[in-house]
Structure 1
Amino acid sequence: MRIITRTISYTTSDGVTLKSHFACPADTPHELSGVLVAPEWWGLSEHAKKSAERLAEAGYAALAMDLYGDAQLTDDASVASANMNALLDAPEKLEERTRLALETLQAQPEVNALNLGAIGFCFGGKVVLDMARRGEPLKAVTSFHGLLTPAAPAIEGMVKGELLIENGTDDPLVPPEMLEAFIAEMDKAKVEYHIDNFPNVRHGFTNPQATANGVKNNFDALHYDEEAAKTSWQNMLNLLERKL
Protein backbone atom coordinates (compact mmCIF):
# COMPACT_ATOMS: atom_id res chain seq x y z
CA MET A 1 0.00 0.00 0.00
CA ARG A 2 1.27 3.45 -0.91
CA ILE A 3 1.50 5.76 2.10
CA ILE A 4 2.11 9.45 2.73
CA THR A 5 4.09 10.93 5.61
CA ARG A 6 4.49 14.40 7.05
CA THR A 7 6.07 16.11 10.03
CA ILE A 8 3.54 17.84 12.26
CA SER A 9 4.82 20.51 14.64
CA TYR A 10 2.99 21.83 17.69
CA THR A 11 4.08 23.72 20.79
CA THR A 12 3.71 23.08 24.51
CA SER A 13 2.60 25.68 27.03
CA ASP A 14 6.23 26.22 28.02
CA GLY A 15 7.36 26.83 24.46
CA VAL A 16 8.81 23.45 23.44
CA THR A 17 8.22 22.62 19.77
CA LEU A 18 7.31 18.98 19.27
CA LYS A 19 7.85 17.53 15.80
CA SER A 20 5.92 14.29 15.39
CA HIS A 21 5.88 11.91 12.42
CA PHE A 22 2.52 11.23 10.78
CA ALA A 23 1.79 8.44 8.30
CA CYS A 24 -1.38 7.23 6.60
CA PRO A 25 -2.48 5.42 3.44
CA ALA A 26 -2.29 7.62 0.35
CA ASP A 27 -5.46 6.52 -1.41
CA THR A 28 -8.14 5.97 1.18
CA PRO A 29 -11.22 7.83 2.34
CA HIS A 30 -11.19 9.90 5.49
CA GLU A 31 -12.33 8.47 8.82
CA LEU A 32 -9.31 6.20 9.33
CA SER A 33 -8.75 4.79 12.78
CA GLY A 34 -5.86 6.61 14.46
CA VAL A 35 -2.96 5.07 16.38
CA LEU A 36 -0.41 6.91 18.50
CA VAL A 37 3.15 5.55 18.62
CA ALA A 38 5.24 6.36 21.70
CA PRO A 39 8.98 5.80 21.17
CA GLU A 40 11.68 4.32 23.36
CA TRP A 41 13.76 6.52 25.64
CA TRP A 42 16.15 7.22 22.74
CA GLY A 43 13.69 9.71 21.26
CA LEU A 44 11.90 9.86 17.92
CA SER A 45 13.87 7.04 16.31
CA GLU A 46 13.66 5.36 12.93
CA HIS A 47 12.09 2.43 14.76
CA ALA A 48 9.22 4.61 16.02
CA LYS A 49 8.75 6.34 12.67
CA LYS A 50 8.91 3.06 10.77
CA SER A 51 6.31 1.62 13.16
CA ALA A 52 3.96 4.48 12.26
CA GLU A 53 4.58 3.79 8.58
CA ARG A 54 3.91 0.07 9.02
CA LEU A 55 0.62 0.95 10.70
CA ALA A 56 -0.20 3.14 7.70
CA GLU A 57 0.55 0.21 5.40
CA ALA A 58 -1.94 -1.80 7.47
CA GLY A 59 -4.63 0.82 6.87
CA TYR A 60 -4.35 3.11 9.91
CA ALA A 61 -3.39 6.73 10.40
CA ALA A 62 -0.50 6.86 12.86
CA LEU A 63 1.44 9.54 14.71
CA ALA A 64 4.87 8.75 16.16
CA MET A 65 5.18 11.16 19.09
CA ASP A 66 8.04 13.53 19.71
CA LEU A 67 8.20 13.70 23.50
CA TYR A 68 11.48 15.59 23.95
CA GLY A 69 11.16 18.47 21.48
CA ASP A 70 12.73 19.14 18.06
CA ALA A 71 12.56 15.38 17.37
CA GLN A 72 15.58 14.79 19.61
CA LEU A 73 17.30 11.44 19.21
CA THR A 74 20.35 9.85 20.82
CA ASP A 75 22.02 6.45 20.98
CA ASP A 76 23.78 7.31 24.26
CA ALA A 77 21.98 5.60 27.14
CA SER A 78 23.06 8.23 29.68
CA VAL A 79 21.54 11.00 27.55
CA ALA A 80 18.40 8.95 26.91
CA SER A 81 18.05 8.23 30.63
CA ALA A 82 18.43 11.91 31.50
CA ASN A 83 15.83 12.92 28.91
CA MET A 84 13.37 10.29 30.08
CA ASN A 85 13.84 11.01 33.78
CA ALA A 86 13.39 14.74 33.22
CA LEU A 87 9.89 13.99 31.97
CA LEU A 88 9.12 11.36 34.60
CA ASP A 89 10.12 13.92 37.23
CA ALA A 90 7.74 16.46 35.66
CA PRO A 91 4.58 14.40 35.09
CA GLU A 92 2.54 17.46 34.19
CA LYS A 93 4.85 18.08 31.22
CA LEU A 94 4.69 14.47 30.09
CA GLU A 95 0.91 14.45 30.40
CA GLU A 96 0.61 17.66 28.38
CA ARG A 97 2.87 16.33 25.62
CA THR A 98 0.93 13.10 25.29
CA ARG A 99 -2.39 14.96 25.35
CA LEU A 100 -1.18 17.32 22.63
CA ALA A 101 -0.08 14.34 20.53
CA LEU A 102 -3.50 12.74 20.90
CA GLU A 103 -5.30 15.98 20.02
CA THR A 104 -2.99 16.47 17.03
CA LEU A 105 -3.77 12.98 15.74
CA GLN A 106 -7.50 13.56 16.25
CA ALA A 107 -7.29 16.84 14.33
CA GLN A 108 -5.86 15.31 11.14
CA PRO A 109 -8.41 15.28 8.30
CA GLU A 110 -7.80 11.60 7.59
CA VAL A 111 -8.63 10.51 11.15
CA ASN A 112 -11.81 9.42 12.84
CA ALA A 113 -11.31 11.22 16.15
CA LEU A 114 -13.50 8.73 18.00
CA ASN A 115 -11.65 5.59 16.93
CA LEU A 116 -8.22 5.63 18.55
CA GLY A 117 -5.52 3.32 19.84
CA ALA A 118 -1.91 3.59 20.97
CA ILE A 119 1.27 1.54 21.01
CA GLY A 120 4.54 2.20 22.78
CA PHE A 121 8.02 0.77 23.16
CA CYS A 122 10.05 0.67 26.42
CA PHE A 123 9.53 4.15 27.98
CA GLY A 124 6.81 4.61 25.36
CA GLY A 125 5.07 1.49 26.63
CA LYS A 126 4.77 3.13 30.02
CA VAL A 127 3.60 6.35 28.35
CA VAL A 128 0.67 4.72 26.56
CA LEU A 129 -0.29 2.57 29.55
CA ASP A 130 -0.40 5.68 31.73
CA MET A 131 -2.54 7.40 29.12
CA ALA A 132 -4.98 4.50 29.38
CA ARG A 133 -4.87 4.64 33.17
CA ARG A 134 -5.77 8.35 33.05
CA GLY A 135 -8.87 7.56 31.03
CA GLU A 136 -7.81 8.78 27.59
CA PRO A 137 -10.24 7.56 24.89
CA LEU A 138 -8.06 4.71 23.63
CA LYS A 139 -9.84 1.53 22.55
CA ALA A 140 -6.67 -0.58 22.16
CA VAL A 141 -3.28 -0.07 23.81
CA THR A 142 -0.17 -2.21 23.27
CA SER A 143 3.05 -2.02 25.27
CA PHE A 144 6.14 -3.63 23.70
CA HIS A 145 8.89 -4.37 26.26
CA GLY A 146 7.37 -1.50 28.23
CA LEU A 147 7.84 -0.40 31.81
CA LEU A 148 4.74 -1.40 33.75
CA THR A 149 4.94 0.71 36.90
CA PRO A 150 2.12 3.28 36.97
CA ALA A 151 2.30 7.03 37.39
CA ALA A 152 -0.96 6.44 39.27
CA PRO A 153 -2.63 3.03 39.57
CA ALA A 154 -5.60 2.21 37.40
CA ILE A 155 -9.02 2.85 38.93
CA GLU A 156 -12.05 0.78 38.03
CA GLY A 157 -13.94 2.34 35.14
CA MET A 158 -11.13 4.65 33.97
CA VAL A 159 -9.46 2.47 31.34
CA LYS A 160 -11.58 2.73 28.19
CA GLY A 161 -10.09 -0.07 26.10
CA GLU A 162 -8.19 -3.35 26.08
CA LEU A 163 -4.51 -3.51 27.04
CA LEU A 164 -1.96 -5.85 25.47
CA ILE A 165 1.47 -6.44 27.04
CA GLU A 166 4.23 -7.91 24.84
CA ASN A 167 7.02 -8.87 27.23
CA GLY A 168 10.32 -10.74 27.19
CA THR A 169 10.85 -13.13 30.10
CA ASP A 170 14.57 -12.24 30.29
CA ASP A 171 13.99 -8.47 30.37
CA PRO A 172 15.76 -7.21 33.53
CA LEU A 173 13.87 -3.92 33.33
CA VAL A 174 10.59 -5.82 33.80
CA PRO A 175 11.31 -8.27 36.64
CA PRO A 176 8.67 -10.83 37.69
CA GLU A 177 7.57 -8.72 40.65
CA MET A 178 6.79 -5.79 38.34
CA LEU A 179 4.70 -8.05 36.13
CA GLU A 180 2.91 -9.49 39.18
CA ALA A 181 2.16 -6.00 40.50
CA PHE A 182 0.76 -5.01 37.10
CA ILE A 183 -1.51 -8.05 37.05
CA ALA A 184 -2.77 -7.27 40.54
CA GLU A 185 -3.37 -3.63 39.58
CA MET A 186 -5.32 -4.55 36.44
CA ASP A 187 -7.37 -7.23 38.18
CA LYS A 188 -8.30 -4.86 41.00
CA ALA A 189 -9.42 -2.23 38.47
CA LYS A 190 -11.26 -4.86 36.39
CA VAL A 191 -9.33 -3.91 33.25
CA GLU A 192 -9.47 -6.05 30.12
CA TYR A 193 -5.89 -7.05 29.37
CA HIS A 194 -3.69 -9.80 27.95
CA ILE A 195 0.00 -10.56 28.45
CA ASP A 196 2.24 -12.39 25.98
CA ASN A 197 5.53 -13.56 27.50
CA PHE A 198 8.32 -14.49 25.09
CA PRO A 199 10.79 -17.00 26.60
CA ASN A 200 14.50 -16.09 26.59
CA VAL A 201 13.79 -12.65 25.10
CA ARG A 202 15.46 -9.51 26.43
CA HIS A 203 14.65 -5.79 26.48
CA GLY A 204 14.12 -3.83 23.26
CA PHE A 205 13.37 -6.97 21.27
CA THR A 206 11.30 -5.19 18.59
CA ASN A 207 13.99 -2.68 17.62
CA PRO A 208 16.50 -3.88 14.99
CA GLN A 209 19.04 -1.45 16.51
CA ALA A 210 18.67 -2.84 20.03
CA THR A 211 21.64 -5.20 19.95
CA ALA A 212 23.96 -2.55 18.52
CA ASN A 213 22.72 -0.01 21.07
CA GLY A 214 23.39 -2.54 23.81
CA VAL A 215 26.96 -3.08 22.62
CA LYS A 216 27.61 0.66 22.32
CA ASN A 217 26.36 1.28 25.85
CA ASN A 218 27.78 -1.89 27.44
CA PHE A 219 24.24 -2.98 28.32
CA ASP A 220 23.63 -6.59 27.29
CA ALA A 221 19.98 -6.47 28.43
CA LEU A 222 19.23 -4.94 25.02
CA HIS A 223 18.78 -7.49 22.26
CA TYR A 224 16.74 -7.62 19.05
CA ASP A 225 14.74 -10.81 18.53
CA GLU A 226 13.33 -11.12 15.02
CA GLU A 227 10.78 -13.83 15.80
CA ALA A 228 9.43 -12.13 18.92
CA ALA A 229 9.29 -8.83 17.04
CA LYS A 230 7.29 -10.41 14.22
CA THR A 231 4.89 -12.29 16.50
CA SER A 232 4.28 -9.38 18.87
CA TRP A 233 3.58 -7.02 15.97
CA GLN A 234 0.97 -9.42 14.60
CA ASN A 235 -0.57 -9.75 18.07
CA MET A 236 -0.91 -5.97 18.15
CA LEU A 237 -2.47 -5.86 14.68
CA ASN A 238 -4.96 -8.51 15.77
CA LEU A 239 -5.98 -6.35 18.73
CA LEU A 240 -6.38 -3.26 16.53
CA GLU A 241 -8.48 -5.23 14.06
CA ARG A 242 -10.80 -6.38 16.83
CA LYS A 243 -11.10 -3.01 18.58
CA LEU A 244 -10.76 -0.41 15.82
Structure 2
Amino acid sequence: MSPPLSPQIHTEYLDYVEGETVCQAYVAYAESSEARRPGILVAHAWDGQSEPIRERVEQLAGLGYVGFALDVYGKGVRGGVMEDNSHLMGPFMADRALLRRRLLAGLAAARRHERIDPDRIAAIGYCFGGLCALDLARSAAPGLRGVVSFHGLFHPPALGPQAPIQAKVLILHGWDDPMAPPADVLAVTKELTEAKADWQLHAYGHAMHAFTYPGANNPQAGIQYNAAAERRSWIAMRAFLEETLNEGA
Protein backbone atom coordinates (compact mmCIF):
# COMPACT_ATOMS: atom_id res chain seq x y z
CA MET A 1 0.00 0.00 0.00
CA SER A 2 1.15 3.55 -0.68
CA PRO A 3 1.66 5.99 2.20
CA PRO A 4 -1.17 8.39 3.07
CA LEU A 5 -1.57 11.18 0.55
CA SER A 6 0.30 14.30 1.66
CA PRO A 7 -1.81 17.46 1.90
CA GLN A 8 0.87 19.08 -0.28
CA ILE A 9 0.03 16.79 -3.22
CA HIS A 10 -2.49 18.26 -5.64
CA THR A 11 -4.70 15.82 -7.54
CA GLU A 12 -7.11 16.45 -10.39
CA TYR A 13 -9.02 14.73 -13.17
CA LEU A 14 -8.33 15.95 -16.68
CA ASP A 15 -10.45 15.20 -19.74
CA TYR A 16 -8.81 14.75 -23.13
CA VAL A 17 -10.08 13.48 -26.47
CA GLU A 18 -9.02 10.88 -29.01
CA GLY A 19 -11.25 10.97 -32.08
CA GLU A 20 -14.78 11.00 -30.69
CA THR A 21 -13.82 9.34 -27.40
CA VAL A 22 -13.47 11.38 -24.23
CA CYS A 23 -10.83 10.01 -21.87
CA GLN A 24 -10.11 11.06 -18.30
CA ALA A 25 -6.61 11.23 -16.84
CA TYR A 26 -5.82 11.38 -13.14
CA VAL A 27 -2.99 13.81 -12.39
CA ALA A 28 -0.97 14.36 -9.21
CA TYR A 29 1.91 16.67 -8.38
CA ALA A 30 3.50 18.39 -5.40
CA GLU A 31 2.29 21.94 -4.87
CA SER A 32 5.61 23.17 -3.45
CA SER A 33 6.90 24.47 -6.78
CA GLU A 34 5.34 25.90 -9.92
CA ALA A 35 8.28 24.88 -12.09
CA ARG A 36 7.66 22.35 -14.81
CA ARG A 37 8.73 18.83 -13.84
CA PRO A 38 9.25 15.53 -15.62
CA GLY A 39 5.97 13.76 -16.27
CA ILE A 40 5.36 10.05 -15.77
CA LEU A 41 2.51 8.48 -17.70
CA VAL A 42 1.01 5.46 -15.93
CA ALA A 43 -0.76 2.93 -18.16
CA HIS A 44 -3.37 0.75 -16.47
CA ALA A 45 -3.89 -3.00 -16.51
CA TRP A 46 -6.79 -4.70 -18.29
CA ASP A 47 -9.34 -3.45 -15.73
CA GLY A 48 -8.90 0.20 -16.72
CA GLN A 49 -7.83 3.15 -14.63
CA SER A 50 -8.21 1.95 -11.03
CA GLU A 51 -7.51 2.94 -7.46
CA PRO A 52 -4.15 1.10 -7.40
CA ILE A 53 -3.09 3.02 -10.53
CA ARG A 54 -4.14 6.33 -8.99
CA GLU A 55 -2.12 5.41 -5.88
CA ARG A 56 0.93 4.86 -8.08
CA VAL A 57 0.39 8.30 -9.61
CA GLU A 58 0.36 9.83 -6.14
CA GLN A 59 3.53 7.94 -5.20
CA LEU A 60 5.26 9.36 -8.26
CA ALA A 61 4.14 12.86 -7.26
CA GLY A 62 5.74 12.24 -3.90
CA LEU A 63 9.02 11.52 -5.70
CA GLY A 64 8.90 14.93 -7.39
CA TYR A 65 7.35 13.95 -10.72
CA VAL A 66 4.00 14.83 -12.22
CA GLY A 67 2.07 11.56 -12.32
CA PHE A 68 -0.43 11.21 -15.16
CA ALA A 69 -2.68 8.13 -15.24
CA LEU A 70 -3.73 7.35 -18.78
CA ASP A 71 -7.25 6.26 -19.69
CA VAL A 72 -7.10 3.91 -22.67
CA TYR A 73 -10.72 2.74 -22.53
CA GLY A 74 -12.49 6.10 -22.22
CA LYS A 75 -14.10 8.12 -19.47
CA GLY A 76 -16.13 5.97 -17.09
CA VAL A 77 -15.25 2.68 -18.81
CA ARG A 78 -13.87 0.54 -16.02
CA GLY A 79 -13.67 -3.14 -15.18
CA GLY A 80 -13.05 -4.98 -11.94
CA VAL A 81 -9.58 -5.69 -10.61
CA MET A 82 -10.26 -9.41 -10.11
CA GLU A 83 -12.76 -9.83 -12.98
CA ASP A 84 -12.35 -11.08 -16.54
CA ASN A 85 -11.85 -7.85 -18.48
CA SER A 86 -11.16 -9.43 -21.87
CA HIS A 87 -14.07 -7.54 -23.40
CA LEU A 88 -12.35 -4.25 -22.53
CA MET A 89 -8.78 -5.14 -23.49
CA GLY A 90 -9.60 -7.35 -26.48
CA PRO A 91 -10.53 -4.62 -28.99
CA PHE A 92 -7.22 -2.83 -28.38
CA MET A 93 -5.18 -6.00 -28.67
CA ALA A 94 -6.96 -6.70 -31.97
CA ASP A 95 -6.46 -3.16 -33.26
CA ARG A 96 -3.04 -1.95 -32.20
CA ALA A 97 -3.36 1.12 -34.44
CA LEU A 98 -6.32 2.21 -32.32
CA LEU A 99 -4.32 1.53 -29.18
CA ARG A 100 -1.44 3.63 -30.49
CA ARG A 101 -3.78 6.54 -31.27
CA ARG A 102 -5.29 6.35 -27.81
CA LEU A 103 -1.84 6.30 -26.17
CA LEU A 104 -0.52 9.17 -28.26
CA ALA A 105 -3.59 11.25 -27.36
CA GLY A 106 -2.80 10.75 -23.69
CA LEU A 107 0.84 11.66 -24.24
CA ALA A 108 -0.17 14.81 -26.12
CA ALA A 109 -2.49 15.80 -23.25
CA ALA A 110 0.33 15.31 -20.76
CA ARG A 111 2.72 17.41 -22.84
CA ARG A 112 0.17 20.24 -22.76
CA HIS A 113 -0.16 20.17 -18.97
CA GLU A 114 1.14 23.35 -17.37
CA ARG A 115 3.20 21.48 -14.76
CA ILE A 116 4.91 18.99 -17.11
CA ASP A 117 8.14 19.54 -19.02
CA PRO A 118 7.03 18.36 -22.49
CA ASP A 119 10.51 17.13 -23.36
CA ARG A 120 11.04 15.06 -20.20
CA ILE A 121 8.37 12.38 -20.12
CA ALA A 122 8.50 8.68 -19.33
CA ALA A 123 5.80 6.02 -19.28
CA ILE A 124 5.31 3.06 -16.99
CA GLY A 125 2.65 0.39 -17.18
CA TYR A 126 1.36 -2.76 -15.54
CA CYS A 127 0.26 -5.97 -17.34
CA PHE A 128 -1.69 -4.66 -20.37
CA GLY A 129 -0.24 -1.30 -19.41
CA GLY A 130 3.26 -2.73 -19.77
CA LEU A 131 2.44 -3.48 -23.38
CA CYS A 132 1.08 0.08 -23.69
CA ALA A 133 4.37 1.49 -22.40
CA LEU A 134 6.31 -0.59 -24.93
CA ASP A 135 3.95 0.50 -27.72
CA LEU A 136 4.62 4.12 -26.85
CA ALA A 137 8.34 3.46 -27.24
CA ARG A 138 7.67 1.72 -30.55
CA SER A 139 5.73 4.79 -31.76
CA ALA A 140 8.80 7.08 -31.58
CA ALA A 141 6.64 9.64 -29.79
CA PRO A 142 8.05 13.16 -29.23
CA GLY A 143 9.21 14.03 -25.73
CA LEU A 144 9.24 10.41 -24.58
CA ARG A 145 12.58 9.57 -22.98
CA GLY A 146 11.93 6.18 -21.44
CA VAL A 147 9.40 3.46 -20.68
CA VAL A 148 9.08 0.82 -17.96
CA SER A 149 7.04 -2.36 -18.30
CA PHE A 150 5.97 -4.14 -15.10
CA HIS A 151 4.92 -7.78 -15.76
CA GLY A 152 3.82 -6.66 -19.21
CA LEU A 153 2.92 -8.35 -22.48
CA PHE A 154 5.47 -8.19 -25.27
CA HIS A 155 3.73 -8.91 -28.60
CA PRO A 156 4.77 -6.34 -31.24
CA PRO A 157 2.00 -4.28 -32.89
CA ALA A 158 2.76 -5.32 -36.51
CA LEU A 159 2.12 -1.82 -37.83
CA GLY A 160 4.76 -1.89 -40.55
CA PRO A 161 8.54 -1.55 -40.34
CA GLN A 162 9.76 -0.57 -36.88
CA ALA A 163 11.59 2.75 -36.81
CA PRO A 164 14.58 3.08 -34.47
CA ILE A 165 13.39 3.27 -30.86
CA GLN A 166 14.76 6.41 -29.21
CA ALA A 167 13.19 5.99 -25.77
CA LYS A 168 15.15 3.91 -23.29
CA VAL A 169 13.39 0.71 -22.22
CA LEU A 170 13.30 -1.13 -18.89
CA ILE A 171 11.43 -4.44 -18.68
CA LEU A 172 10.64 -5.73 -15.17
CA HIS A 173 9.53 -9.32 -15.60
CA GLY A 174 8.47 -12.23 -13.44
CA TRP A 175 10.27 -15.26 -14.85
CA ASP A 176 7.38 -17.59 -14.03
CA ASP A 177 4.80 -15.37 -15.78
CA PRO A 178 2.86 -17.68 -18.12
CA MET A 179 1.55 -14.69 -20.09
CA ALA A 180 5.09 -13.80 -21.18
CA PRO A 181 7.02 -17.10 -21.46
CA PRO A 182 10.76 -17.23 -22.18
CA ALA A 183 10.17 -17.37 -25.94
CA ASP A 184 8.35 -14.03 -25.76
CA VAL A 185 11.13 -12.57 -23.62
CA LEU A 186 13.75 -13.56 -26.17
CA ALA A 187 11.58 -12.21 -29.00
CA VAL A 188 11.15 -8.77 -27.43
CA THR A 189 14.86 -8.46 -26.65
CA LYS A 190 15.63 -9.34 -30.27
CA GLU A 191 13.06 -6.78 -31.43
CA LEU A 192 14.51 -4.05 -29.23
CA THR A 193 18.06 -4.85 -30.28
CA GLU A 194 17.15 -4.68 -33.97
CA ALA A 195 15.41 -1.33 -33.33
CA LYS A 196 18.68 -0.05 -31.77
CA ALA A 197 16.96 0.64 -28.45
CA ASP A 198 18.85 1.20 -25.20
CA TRP A 199 17.16 -1.59 -23.25
CA GLN A 200 17.42 -3.42 -19.94
CA LEU A 201 15.67 -6.54 -18.68
CA HIS A 202 15.32 -7.45 -15.00
CA ALA A 203 13.85 -10.92 -14.49
CA TYR A 204 12.75 -11.98 -11.01
CA GLY A 205 12.98 -15.67 -10.18
CA HIS A 206 9.84 -17.38 -8.84
CA ALA A 207 7.75 -14.27 -9.63
CA MET A 208 4.52 -14.66 -11.58
CA HIS A 209 2.19 -12.31 -13.42
CA ALA A 210 0.85 -9.30 -11.46
CA PHE A 211 3.67 -9.55 -8.92
CA THR A 212 3.17 -5.90 -7.88
CA TYR A 213 -0.50 -6.25 -6.95
CA PRO A 214 -1.07 -7.34 -3.31
CA GLY A 215 -4.51 -8.79 -4.10
CA ALA A 216 -3.20 -11.22 -6.72
CA ASN A 217 -3.42 -14.76 -5.37
CA ASN A 218 -4.15 -17.33 -8.06
CA PRO A 219 -0.89 -19.25 -8.52
CA GLN A 220 -2.67 -22.01 -10.48
CA ALA A 221 -3.21 -19.39 -13.19
CA GLY A 222 0.28 -17.97 -12.80
CA ILE A 223 -0.93 -14.82 -11.02
CA GLN A 224 0.50 -14.00 -7.60
CA TYR A 225 1.81 -11.08 -5.59
CA ASN A 226 5.51 -11.20 -4.76
CA ALA A 227 6.68 -8.65 -2.19
CA ALA A 228 10.38 -9.02 -3.00
CA ALA A 229 9.83 -8.58 -6.73
CA GLU A 230 7.59 -5.57 -6.12
CA ARG A 231 10.21 -3.91 -3.91
CA ARG A 232 13.10 -4.65 -6.26
CA SER A 233 11.18 -3.53 -9.35
CA TRP A 234 10.20 -0.21 -7.77
CA ILE A 235 13.84 0.46 -6.83
CA ALA A 236 14.92 -0.40 -10.37
CA MET A 237 12.27 1.91 -11.82
CA ARG A 238 13.34 4.81 -9.61
CA ALA A 239 16.97 4.48 -10.67
CA PHE A 240 15.97 4.23 -14.33
CA LEU A 241 13.77 7.33 -14.19
CA GLU A 242 16.43 9.31 -12.37
CA GLU A 243 18.98 8.50 -15.05
CA THR A 244 16.69 8.81 -18.03
CA LEU A 245 14.87 12.04 -17.15
CA ASN A 246 17.84 13.99 -15.86
CA GLU A 247 20.20 13.45 -18.78
CA GLY A 248 20.88 16.81 -20.34
CA ALA A 249 18.69 18.61 -17.79
Please say whether Structure 1 and Structure 2 have the same fold, judged by a TM-score greater than 0.5: yes
* Equivalent position of 1:38 in the other structure: 43
Given residue 227 of structure 1, which amino acid in structure 2 is its aligned partner? A
Cα separation, partners in 2 of 1:42 and 1:123, compared to 1, 3 Å: same
Match of 2:180 among 174, 189, 192: 174
* Equivalent position of 1:228 in the other structure: 229
* Equivalent position of 1:119 in the other structure: 124
2:170 paired with 1:164: yes
Length, aligned pairs only: 238
Unaligned runs of 5+ in 2: 1-5
Q: Shift in Å at residue 154 of structure 1?
A: 9.6
8 Å contact from structure 1 (residues 124, 146) kept in 2: yes
- Percent of matched pairs sharing the same residue: 30
Q: Shift in Å at residue 161 of structure 1?
A: 1.9
8 Å contact from structure 2 (residues 44, 70) kept in 1: yes
CA distance, structure 1, for counterparts of residue 161 and residue 192 of structure 2 = 9
* Equivalent position of 2:3 in the other structure: none
Cα separation, partners in 2 of 1:175 and 1:125, compared to 1, 3 Å: same
Q: Deviations over 1:139-191 (max 9, x none)?
A: 11100000011103896763122100000011000101000111111222221
CA distance, structure 1, for counterparts of residue 161 and residue 139 of structure 2 = 9
Q: Deviations over 1:18-69 (max 9, x none)?
A: 1111111111232100111001111111121111111110000111111111
2:89 paired with 1:84: yes
2:105 paired with 1:100: yes
* Equivalent position of 1:194 in the other structure: 200
Q: Shift in Å at residue 9 of structure 1?
A: 1.0
Query: SS in structure 2 opposite 1:237?
Result: helix
8 Å contact from structure 1 (residues 30, 109) kept in 2: no
8 Å contact from structure 2 (residues 140, 167) kept in 1: no
2:239 paired with 1:238: yes
Query: SS in structure 1 opposite 2:224?
Result: coil
CA distance, structure 1, for counterparts of residue 116 and residue 71 of structure 2 = 19
8 Å contact from structure 1 (residues 43, 71) kept in 2: no
CA distance, structure 2, for counterparts of residue 22 and residue 6 of structure 1 = 5
Given residue 39 of structure 1, which amino acid in structure 2 is its aligned partner? H
CA distance, structure 1, for counterparts of residue 146 and residue 161 of structure 2 = 17
8 Å contact from structure 1 (residues 30, 110) kept in 2: yes
Given residue 34 of structure 2, which amino acid in structure 1 is its aligned partner? P
Unaligned runs of 5+ in 1: none
8 Å contact from structure 1 (residues 38, 65) kept in 2: yes
Given residue 120 of structure 2, which amino acid in structure 1 is its aligned partner? N
**TM-score w.r.t. structure 2 length?**
0.89
Query: SS in structure 2 opposite 1:139?
Result: strand
8 Å contact from structure 2 (residues 165, 192) kept in 1: no
Match of 1:47 among 52, 56, 60: 52
* Equivalent position of 2:15 in the other structure: 9
Query: SS in structure 2 opposite 1:208?
Result: coil
Q: Shift in Å at residue 237 of structure 1?
A: 0.8
Given residue 47 of structure 2, which amino acid in structure 1 is its aligned partner? W
